[in-house]
């Protein structure tokens, strides 16, 4: 799996958009970008994934640059419940289900 | 659909004992993966089962083993427990269509 780089932490004001960057400069053409988050001591929660097009669901939006070397997860209106560790992962969509988690970004949403 | 369930949620064992953890995947999912999470090492992949066969394995000693049953439920076993095995053990199931994995709440194992 390609390696990802995320900032260790970031703060966000409640109600504002949170933009979480991720660098994956060695990503290959058939690797997807996945985002998960983990609220303290719970299991990771799937957020969104994408290959090269921007994606949006009820939780977030994923913006992938044209060269695919970086991406941004956008939480449109952050709430206190969005405080968590956010993981950006790249992986092949194949029979290999292994997810390689890095240290992630600790996001703290402040009132 | 019900989510991934793991039992027990909390477990306390002593060194040298063995432990078995259970995971029931989301209905219809055939892939089950196990992960260990510790403060020092983060989330690390243990192994993955698909249709009762181990398909992928992480870098853990042979004391860690697993199996999957015909109904896709999975168990992992840790023998001869060590203090360092204290961790949150997470199970994830995959739908085999979108290849997205969904995690359970985890089992918190404490080894004394």
Query: CB–CB of A97 and B104 under 8 A?
Result: no
Which residues in chain B are contacts of A96 at CB distance < 8 A? Answer: 55-56
Contacts with B, A 4-33, CB within 8 Å: none
Q: Which of A46, A101, A103 is nearest residue B102 as measured by Cβ atoms?
A: A46
Which residues in chain A are contacts of B99 at CB distance < 8 A? Answer: 93-94, 97
Order of strands, edge to edge, in the sheet holding B5-7? B5-7, B19-24, B74-78, B64-68
Q: For residues B72 and B29, is the Cβ–Cβ distance under 8 A?
A: yes
Q: Which pLDDT value is given to residue A28? A: 86
Distance of alpha carbon A60 from alpha carbon A39, whole angstroms: 16
Interface test with B, best of A30, A33, A44 (most B CBs within 10 A): A44
Q: Burial level of B21, CB count in 10 A (0-12/13-18/19+)? A: buried
Q: Which pLDDT value is given to residue A75? A: 97
Q: Burial level of B51, CB count in 10 A (0-12/13-18/19+)? A: exposed
Contacts of B16 (CB under 8 A, 6+ apart): B80, B81
Distance from the B15 Cα atom to the nearest Cα atom in chain A, whole angstroms: 23
Q: Which pLDDT value is given to residue A9? A: 97
What tens digit of pLDDT does each residue of B42-68 get?
Answer: 899 999 999 899 988 999 999 999 999
What tens digit of pLDDT does each residue of A51-93 get?
Answer: 998 999 999 999 999 999 999 999 999 999 999 999 999 887 6
């Amino acid at each position: 799996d390609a390696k990802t780089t995320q900032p260790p932490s970031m703060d966000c004001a409640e109600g504002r958009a949170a933009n979480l960057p991720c660098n994956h400069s060695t990503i290959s053409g058939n690797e997807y970008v996945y985002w998960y988050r983990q609220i303290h001591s719970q299991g990771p929660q799937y957020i969104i994934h994408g290959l090269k097009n921007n994606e949006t669901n009820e939780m977030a939006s994923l913006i992938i640059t044209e060269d695919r070397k970086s991406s941004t997860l956008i939480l449109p209106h952050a709430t206190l419940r969005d405080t968590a560790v956010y993981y950006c992962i790249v992986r092949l969509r194949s029979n290999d289900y292994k997810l390689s988690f890095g240290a992630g970004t600790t996001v703290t949403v402040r009132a | 659909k019900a989510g991934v369930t793991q039992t027990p949620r909390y477990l306390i064992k002593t060194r040298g004992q063995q432990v078995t953890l259970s995971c029931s995947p989301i209905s219809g999912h055939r892939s089950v993966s196990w992960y260990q999470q510790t403060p020092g090492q983060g989330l690390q992949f243990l192994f993955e089962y698909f249709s009762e066969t181990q398909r992928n394995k992480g870098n853990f000693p042979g004391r860690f083993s697993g199996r999957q049953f015909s109904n896709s439920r999975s168990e992992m076993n840790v023998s001869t427990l060590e203090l360092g095995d204290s961790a949150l053990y997470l199970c994830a199931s995959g739908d085999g269509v979108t290849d997205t994995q969904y995690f359970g709440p985890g089992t918190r194992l404490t080894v004394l």
